Amino acid sequence: MKKEKGLLLVLSGPAGVGKGTVCGALRQEETSVQYSVSATTRAPRAGETDGVNYFFKTREQFEKMIEQNELLEWAEYVGNYYGTPIDYVKETINQGNDIILEIEVQGALKVRERFPEGVFIFLMPPSLAELRNRIVGRGTETEDIINKRMTVAREEIDMMKKYDYVVENDQVELAVERIKSIVTAEHCKRERLIDKYKELVEVN
């Protein structure tokens, strides 16, 4: 019987909604879910390992990956490139393993263009007031930056119509349970299983 492929889970939402916290909690509970390793041109920090934390590339290597369409998405941030290698994602799901990509909304929409069979989950705050409280609570942003983030958040929330699922992050534990339910349902979808079970009804 054919082996079932894994899922590419794409988790995104506005800044401050708790993507990293939810993603980390999900991976603690579902240890089989692998984290998508990004490629970057920035130098490794102390304790970072190539292929574990990032795939560390030279600028020339990264630009060659862009030219050869080897990235699901990429962006340049503070003078360095960051991106998601498509081969790593494909190898992981072909081995039957689920992989999660935690990413900003614009990046997620780029991934959807390249990999429409992914499972796209939009993480929502309970309210805009709560989202603002979370950003303020970080204590790292000026009032002007907070206001800009809130403007962008409203625009991003309007993009939820391009996602498959919406999960409210009112409590991390509940958000994780909802995502686990989505993963279970996706693995039971007819179109994912039909090839695997075809041989049961094939006439020899």
Enumerate the known binding-site residues for ATP: 13-20
Determine the 3-state secondary structure of 11 from DSSP. Answer: strand
Enumerate the known binding-site residues: 13-20
Exposure b/e, 144-180, CB count within 10 A at least 16 = b = eebeebbeebeebbebbeebebebebeeeeebbebbe
- pLDDT score recorded for residue 204: 53
Exposure b/e, 93-106, CB count within 10 A at least 16 = b = beeeebbbbbbbbe
Task: Specify whether domain 1-33+98-204 bears CATH 3.40.50.300.
Answer: yes
Asked if residues 174 and 182 have their Cβ atoms less than 8 Å apart, the reply is no
Correct CATH for 37-96 of 3.30.2390.10, 2.170.130.10, 3.40.50.10790, 3.30.63.10: 3.30.63.10
- List the chain domain ranges: 1-33+98-204, 37-96
pLDDT band at residue 180 under the 50/70/90 scheme: very high
Asked if residues 131 and 125 have their Cβ atoms less than 8 Å apart, the reply is yes
**pLDDT tens by residue, 1-31:** 667 899 999 999 988 898 989 999 999 999 8
